[in-house]
Structure 1
Amino acid sequence: MTASISDALLDWYDRNARALPWRNPPGAPLPDDAAWPYRVWLSEVMLQQTTVAAVKPYFEAFTRRWPTVEDLAAAPEDDVMAAWAGLGYYSRARNLVKCARAVAARGGFPAEEAGLRELPGLGAYTSAAIAAIAFGRRAVVVDANVERVVARLFALRQPLPGARKPIREKAEAITPEMRAGDFAQAMMDLGSQVCTAKAPRCLLCPLSSDCEGREKGIAESLPIKPAKKAKPERRGTAFWIERINGPGREVWLVKRPGTGMLGGMRALPDDGWSARDDGSGAAPWGGNPEGMWAGVWEDLGAVRHTFTHAHLTLGLRRAEISGEPGGEGEWWPIERLEEAGLPTLYAKAARLALARES
């Protein structure tokens, strides 16, 4: 059965593989190009918890600006963080720079899973994916799509996360010795295009005749997931502080600490909100611009943003000041604000401020 599964899936992939900018055509020899592992690694890091549609423009922009891992390793971290803005999960961008520098220092990417696991920011899934896709090694690649396909294929009723061990064992059993990279990508495509979380398209599935979940009529219920906890509500305040400078206007931006929420990103100053209820929200710039800087403050409303573990309602206060504010930060021309690389939360707040002024 296992051989027939891999053969059927690879036959399907040869006919139906998605054309993606970081992919090699199905069945084609691996590119003899030092940039190939870099492109695979970059795409896999970007795709963590992010859709293909969202990643495509970022991948193309990064590879135009930094065509090799050495180019990325030499880039200032602030430039990389700004280019990443809007893609979310910003610890990935910080680890991207660390990993690029580690790879450049060692002269290239290791080809084996064990060596890849030693690089900053690479866990079991990403290391296996790079080993299989970039280097053709037999590696068992298990992401959320693969979990769903395998759980349904073998009718694994144990709830997650406990089901992950048997899922991996079954994935190991069906992973072929040859074309492991194509097989991994075929599983991902099958999960995202056919064996979807809701309303799976079983009639189009190349594995339907082998699928125990379909035979038992329980495919759509698998894998069994624990009930989601309601996300807590958090509140905070950000401050839009501007001044007139010659013919234009500028807004005061700060840089968030290198670790924690939106770490290392440019942002509007705020009151030290935290999406975690752990007291970690102390603002390094003081957290109370209204008390620090004289001015007439006005409420501009609020924006709402959802993080992985909380919803945040961020109020926005505005003032125009003269002179130089205290603390670390920088005046940024408002007409060039898009170049600052604000993360999505603060980009929403900036749009609110500019809309209120128009």
Structure 2
Amino acid sequence: MRFDAFQEFRQQQLSASASLLDAAETNVYRALAPLRPSPPTDVGPVYRCDLARAWLRRFELPEEWSGHALVGRGVRHGLSVVFRWLHTQQAKLWLPSDVYPVYFELAGAAGLAPASYPTLPAPALPQSPADHRPEYLLLANPSKPLGRYLSDAECAALTAWLRVSPHRRLLIDSVYDLGAPFAPGTRRLLDTGAAILLHSVTKGWLWPRTFGVVLLDPGHTDLADAFRADPPTPDQLRLADHLLTEHSDLPRQVADDLAARAERLFERLPDDVLGAIPTASRTCRGNYFFPVDIPAQTLQHEYGVLALPVSAFGDSSWSGSVLTSLTDALGPTTAVAR
């Protein structure tokens, strides 16, 4: 069941049974709306180079990298630019099959025909041999709906995958990383010199499609030109400066709220269901996706828990499902009222 079809199904099921625990809400902006900051009131100019340096400082990355920290309008925008460039290079692209259907939509719009690899119940890297073509593999760290960061072994496997060919590169979507600096696995992969990092204010500051940075490796000068030719608007730049300077602590607040919601979810889950969630997902701070090795239909009919089927995220042969902790019933107001 694809995402849109599931949303319709979800509303029908919740309307039919008030006793169902809704563990299938995915809209973090609606759930955390009280935390979202207001836009700035000042109208002064803000420059992309200053924002790039501010972003690097926040994530404890070398300021001399500012020349290849390209400012854009978020991860979707960044991927659109990268994918169009990959099409001109006749590159091969690998996408996770069960993370985010929009990845495939963006690739298709750019004229690419991507291959795929699964991430559930654990990432399984492609094993096909390298050839003369540029080859790029997109991953998310942390990954949804896996609900955790890459392990040391997975980072080692990705590094080994890169070593097979000088034409291989990684694209790292770090939008769900609410910490600063970035996770050790992300920094380890950046240190290979063969990774492009994409980040935005979408999750940490709750402002989607506004501002992001794509950190290129130094060799991508023509790709850098494509970003410079497609900048954010002045209003978006002012908003980004406002978020980074006046609301620098917001990602920590978002992580705190999400951690509290996760604990409330765990308290309400039957022991069998809680035990089927991997420990790494349960303990990943700021996570709100929890894979569980129980089919969604079983969760609903035997445990009274409404979960997302894996098919809502894309193609998967895994028989489990995904829980979320964003429903209003798990929010702070409800918790105080009880």
Give the TM-score category using the shorter length. Answer: under 0.3
| Greater C-alpha radius of gyration | 1
When normalised by structure 1's length, the TM-score is 0.19
When normalised by structure 2's length, the TM-score is 0.20
